[in-house]
Structure 1
Amino acid sequence: MKINILGGGPAGLYAAYLLKRSNPSALVNVYEQNDANTTFGFGVVFSDEALEFLRANDEETLEAITQGLETWRDIEVRIHGERIVIDGVGFTAIARLRLLDILRERALSVGVHLHHQCIVKDLAEMDDADLVIGADGVNSLVRQTYEEHFGTSIEYLNNHFAWFGATRAFPRLTQTFKAAPDGFFNAHHYRYTPDMSTFLVEVDPATFERAGLGRMSEEDSRRYCENVFAEELDGASLVVNKSMWRRFPKISNRKWSVGKYVIIGDALRTAHFSIGSGTRLALEDAQALMQAIAAHPHDVPAALTRFEAARRPVVEKIVSAANRSADWYEDFPQHMQLPALEFAKNYISRSGRIDPERLKANSPGFSSQYEAWRAGSAHS
């Protein structure tokens, strides 16, 4: 079997590794437009149990990834000058480039052929394969080529965001919401190495226009956001890496495969960055695809049908929660009118996955603080 994979991100590299490992005689190629030392973004975040699916069948990769993880057990919400800690909500993070290095090493260890700085403009260039996997992200050539057959839907959210890095480590994943002269700002920030953090800034449309962010250069917007979040940065600097302002695309597809072509990862569907599941979904896609191919090694269309049937219910559940979270962020300036503890409770409940009973069980410290505040408010 010959397998061509377009895209050398987590989805493409992990799919290549798993498919070659399960079928050593297969010829597996990965085509990536960037060189091996280039990546966009900074850190990748996972919920604390997000990688447990690797333990049963791929403990070596799990061990390699977890050796480089930053971990914490609480998250922090900063609002109205207050810092509210929500206990029991664990996350981990790793530098994106480090994660790619690990997955490249795994792919090379089983004999995958990696082709870097290879820009594919037409699928005819890689059509000589039994299976073609589009792991080429939100602007997927595979998806765009067969968009009508996939039944692609793309909806852009209204808020604008930009990914920066920060030259300091924050003790936990932190959400900072603040009002400034030009409007309302939200920063998602978390460390991914002992001395670096991801620092994603999000603004509503009115703030984006009033601040003139769309007319700024990358360097100007870096300095502007550095000034807005000077208190949080505490002397540290923001760092750019293709840190341009954009709107998040909600991508979905009615079908996941067309003949011998299949899409996975962000090419298939996007999950809003506020729930930290995009990379996890990509790795799980790769694992589910490998299992489907192993079940139908001589019938690619049947394997791809099996892949979608087994995987779609899981994906739809996570994406539904991600979409609810995204919708909450679309209105974050309105939510900021709430008192600090009410805002934090509203925030942690935004995706619908954490009901009051689960919150009490997982976050007893925050729940007690919130209930005491509610009781005091009722008698004031």
Structure 2
Amino acid sequence: MGARVKVACVGGGPAGLYFSILMKRQDPSHDITVHERNPAGSTYGWGVTYWSALLERLRAGDPESARAIAEHSVSWHQGVARVGDFTTVQPGDEGFGIGRRTMLGLLTERARALGVRVVFEDEVGEPPPADLVVAGDGVNSVLRDRHQDHFGTEVTAGRNVYAWLGTTKVFPSFTFAFVPTEHGWIWAYGYPFDAGRSTCVVECSPATWRGLGLDRADEAEGLNTLEKLFADVLDGHGLIGREQRDGTAQWLTFRTVTNRAWYRDNLVLLGDAAHTTHYSIGAGTTLALEDAMALAAALRGSPELRPALARYERERRSALLSAQSAARYSAEWYENLPRYMRLPPERMFALLGQRHSPLLPHVPPGLYYRLDRAAGRLESARRFKRWLGPRVARTLHARSRPR
């Protein structure tokens, strides 16, 4: 889109803000407004994760915001798993954490410096008058739900329950902690996002949640219970909730959102409004930012809106297939956790790293571990595993389709 256009971004999350930055860099004459319903500085969550590949793409898109994000991030190079009293460490790719509030503040500042209007406490129920309306208003998108039949929105709830918490315990690495209780396993994912705090996501089955009384506890009681269960991991530090006004605990089930279509006329979906992937693969923010990059690139390369939006939808659908498959199998791995906790801890952790595999749910865990070890030593076995995995996945998917 070469001519000056008026753009309304509904939702001031990372995707909407970064899209506005990219569009302004492409053409400073574009008239862009970001409408955010919440007050400035208020956001859910604690920290978000990303990996070095995203940072390189951010540098290519806008070096200034990428530099600010990198300067305010912390990093790690390994994963730690604690299973009861046992601890194992595995090296890995460099990962990064940054406070969600910090990231939003940096992107807001950069967008405004480029001439974007960012308006807070601006509830939008109707599409604003604009040449292009970007619905980046999250999993509960109001703009998307106005045309739910057109978009073909489907929401699938996961089985496990989880709480998104913070803590003053600074984990040195991405940490998994699995704690046995008389009601079943409960576990946490912890990762740092600044020099003094970490995110701590706690998850368990509904039966364990009820058995521990967490379904009946208010937030203070629930945090106290969790602090006792994870005392060894937290090293005496407390957990921080989301400060619900009525004092209730914030326990959720993850909702996977998919859409048959991603645009309607001049309205296009972005980020969680278009798709969600289970938090256990740590890709939500990355995928949302990549949506913003793809949409801006599609608009830059097309003089007409409709072909640009079609190209964006096509490219992102294709790019998301791998991540959506990984997220689905990752969520199922945790939903079937007792199947893997019978293994020695070091083997369980090895299969934790393999939880994205479509083969794993259909092969006995002990046998899969041995096959995976053998495949790591033999190139021919590695090639066979790569060949077999997608074919098993397609066969299982076909069998599960309604006839």
One fold, TM greater than 0.5? yes
Matches within 5 A, 1:96-175: 96-120=100-124, 122-124=125-127, 126=128, 128-175=129-176
Q: Distance in 2 between matches of 1:130 and 1:215?
A: 49
Matches within 5 A, 1:192-271: 192-241=193-242, 244-271=250-277
Q: Distance in 1 between matches of 2:377 and 2:31?
A: 51
Structure 1 counterpart of 2:126, one-letter code = L
Q: Distance in 1 between matches of 2:169 and 2:327?
A: 28
Length, aligned pairs only = 357
**RMSD after superposition:** 1.9
Q: Distance in 1 between matches of 2:75 and 2:229?
A: 27
What's the offset of the Cα at 1:360? 7.7
Choose the corresponding residue for 2:96, options 88, 92, 98: 92
Structure 2 counterpart of 1:82, one-letter code = F
Choose the corresponding residue for 1:290, options 296, 299, 304: 296
- For the pair 1:349 / 2:354, whether they are aligned, the reply is yes
Q: Distance in 2 between matches of 1:320 and 1:93?
A: 24
What's the offset of the Cα at 1:359? 6.8
What's the offset of the Cα at 1:12? 1.1
- Structure 1: unaligned runs, 5 residues or longer: 362-380
Q: Distance in 1 between matches of 2:119 and 2:158?
A: 34
The 10-residue stretch of structure 1 (309-318 or 265-274) with the greater mean CA deviation from structure 2: 309-318
What's the offset of the Cα at 1:235? 0.9
Q: Distance in 2 between matches of 1:91 and 1:326?
A: 21
Q: Distance in 2 between matches of 1:81 and 1:47?
A: 30
Q: Distance in 2 between matches of 1:239 and 1:340?
A: 29
- For the pair 1:34 / 2:42, whether they are aligned, the reply is no
Choose the corresponding residue for 2:343, options 329, 332, 338: 338
Q: Distance in 2 between matches of 1:50 and 1:359?
A: 27
Q: Deviations over 1:27-48 (max 9, x none)?
A: 1111111111111111111134
Could you say if the C-alpha distance between residues 359 and 321 of structure 1 is closer, same or farther in structure 2, counting changes exceeding 3 Å? farther
Q: Deviations over 1:337-361 (max 9, x none)?
A: 2211110111011113997699789
Q: Distance in 2 between matches of 1:88 and 1:231?
A: 24
Contact 2:22 2:62 in 1 (8 A): no
What's the offset of the Cα at 1:215? 2.2
Instruction: Give the equivalent residue in structure 1 for 2:306.
Output: 301
Partner of 2:41, secondary structure, is coil
Q: Distance in 2 between matches of 1:213 and 1:301?
A: 49
Structure 1 counterpart of 2:289, one-letter code = L
- For the pair 1:280 / 2:286, whether they are aligned, the reply is yes
What's the offset of the Cα at 1:304? 0.4
Instruction: Give the equivalent residue in structure 1 for 2:19.
Output: 15
Contact 2:61 2:293 in 1 (8 A): no
Q: Distance in 1 between matches of 2:99 and 2:338?
A: 30
Contact 1:177 1:336 in 2 (8 A): no
What's the offset of the Cα at 1:176? 0.6
Q: Distance in 1 between matches of 2:312 and 2:351?
A: 36
Structure 1 counterpart of 2:283, one-letter code = S
Could you say if the C-alpha distance between residues 359 and 14 of structure 1 is closer, same or farther in structure 2, counting changes exceeding 3 Å? farther
Partner of 2:54, secondary structure, is coil
What's the offset of the Cα at 1:51? 2.3
- State TM-score, norm by structure 1: 0.90
- For the pair 1:3 / 2:7, whether they are aligned, the reply is yes
- State TM-score, norm by structure 2: 0.85
The 10-residue stretch of structure 1 (103-112 or 47-56) with the greater mean CA deviation from structure 2: 47-56
Structure 2 counterpart of 1:262, one-letter code = V
Moved over 6 A (4+): 357-361
Structure 2 counterpart of 1:180, one-letter code = T
What's the offset of the Cα at 1:196? 0.7
- Structure 2: unaligned runs, 5 residues or longer: 244-248, 361-371, 379-403
Q: Distance in 2 between matches of 1:283 and 1:255?
A: 19
What's the offset of the Cα at 1:88? 2.4
Contact 1:75 1:90 in 2 (8 A): no
The 10-residue stretch of structure 1 (103-112 or 16-25) with the greater mean CA deviation from structure 2: 16-25
The 10-residue stretch of structure 1 (240-249 or 154-163) with the greater mean CA deviation from structure 2: 240-249
Q: Distance in 2 between matches of 1:118 and 1:216?
A: 34
Partner of 1:245, secondary structure, is coil
Q: Deviations over 1:197-245 (max 9, x none)?
A: 1011001111112123222222221111111111111110101125600
Q: Distance in 2 between matches of 1:171 and 1:134?
A: 37
Contact 1:65 1:102 in 2 (8 A): yes
Structure 1 counterpart of 2:315, one-letter code = A
Could you say if the C-alpha distance between residues 261 and 177 of structure 1 is closer, same or farther in structure 2, counting changes exceeding 3 Å? same
Contact 2:34 2:116 in 1 (8 A): yes
